[in-house]
């Protein structure tokens, strides 16, 4: 008697994970290992990447970009091979999962590429959570965060979300009890900046000025207090990003973007991380929407967002 073949049942787990802005970023000197110590306050904002992980009968990992992406995919260079951070996240999960199958990752891109907002890190965080569910790996959030740290400094934060203080190279995270909303307008650029190049430029500027930066040991408590209270006015006076002048050195148009934003009602502006995305702080949600509309009329790509928002989370789990 012939035993009927068991039909492979595909399943898709869809996860969304947020991009981030650095509300503050202090950068130490170049270390012997080639990295810089930082002290930063991360804020997860309401601009999300999505990853749909689908089990496949064929072994291996494949990656594609969703036509539902809001970015112009023809204008960005996103690798779809083993150098892609989401691919690497799936490979790590396959190594630690007893019941791993082949998997196809479809990524919906919304966070600017090479924009200083951790879009690739959000893809990796979403992939870790999606594959954990897909393969019933049963890892705790702490175990997933440990794997996330192997992929890059921003990946654990995208998994965590909310507000957090980052020390070390940004991977030593401490959640901050700051749940009050602040409202921002993100102005994205039609170009990217290389994070290593921005750090090198900062080192070069400091060397030319004879400036020796100290190792950062913590963040300004006034920033955390302003975030806890959702006090945009107080926050506007203490935003800091040591990388901002290096980003402007490489892309002088960012200075114009900051000026235009503030002339149209932003109460403060900052380059997010290594840039070139500019984050403009607004008084409230109404002011943020109005500012975004005004900047769009100026020909800029602007989007109102808020933070903090939760980290990576499953939004659907479907048998096909």
| Residue numbers annotated as active site | 20, 154
CB neighbours (10 Å) of residue 101? 19
Q: For residue 123, what is the enclosing H or E element? A: helix 119-134
Q: Which residues of 30-42 are buried (b: 16+ CB within 10 A; e: fewer)?
A: beeeeebbbbbbb
Residue 312 near residue 156, CB atoms below 8 Å = no
- Per-residue tokens: 272: 């997010």
DSSP 12-40: EEEEEEEEEEEEEEEEEEEPTTS-EEEEE
User: Could you give the C-alpha distances from 168 to 40, 101, 179, 215, in angstroms and in order?
Assistant: 10, 35, 24, 10
CA gap 281, 246 in Å, rounded:
21
CA gap 113, 272 in Å, rounded:
13
User: Could you give the C-alpha distances from 88 to 84, 109, 138, 254, in angstroms and in order?
Assistant: 6, 17, 19, 32
Radius of gyration of the chain (CA): 20
């Amino acid at each position: 008697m012939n035993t009927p073949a068991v039909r492979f049942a595909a399943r898709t787990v869809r996860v969304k994970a947020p991009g981030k802005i650095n509300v503050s970023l202090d950068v130490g000197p170049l270390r012997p290992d080639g990295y810089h110590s930082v002290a930063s306050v991360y804020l997860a904002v309401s601009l999300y990447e999505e990853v749909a992980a689908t089990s496949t009968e064929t072994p291996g990992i494949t990656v594609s970009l969703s036509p539902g992406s809001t970015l112009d995919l023809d204008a960005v260079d996103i690798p779809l091979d083993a150098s892609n951070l989401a691919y690497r996240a799936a490979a790590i999960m396959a190594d630690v999962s007893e019941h791993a199958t082949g998997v196809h990752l479809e990524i919906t891109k919304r966070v600017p590429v090479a924009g200083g907002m951790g879009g690739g890190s959000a893809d990796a965080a979403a992939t870790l959570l999606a594959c954990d569910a897909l393969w019933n790996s049963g890892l705790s959030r702490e175990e997933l965060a440990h794997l996330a740290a192997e992929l890059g400094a921003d990946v654990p934060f995208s998994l965590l979300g909310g507000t957090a203080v980052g020390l070390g190279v940004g991977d030593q995270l401490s959640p901050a009890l700051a749940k009050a909303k602040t409202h921002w307008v993100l102005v994205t650029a039609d170009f990217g900046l290389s994070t290593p190049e921005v750090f090198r430029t900062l080192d070069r500027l400091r060397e030319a000025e004879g400036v020796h930066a100290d190792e950062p040991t913590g963040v300004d408590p006034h920033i955390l207090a302003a975030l806890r209270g959702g006090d945009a006015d107080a926050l506007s006076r203490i935003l800091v990003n040591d990388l901002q002048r290096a980003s402007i050195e490489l892309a002088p148009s960012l200075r114009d973007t900051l000026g235009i934003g503030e002339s149209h009602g932003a109460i403060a502006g900052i380059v997010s991380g290594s840039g070139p995305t500019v984050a403009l702080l607004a008084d409230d949600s109404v002011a943020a929407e109005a500012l975004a509309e005004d900047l769009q009329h100026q020909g800029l790509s602007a989007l109102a967002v808020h933070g903090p928002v939760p980290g990576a989370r499953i939004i659907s789990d479907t048998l096909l």
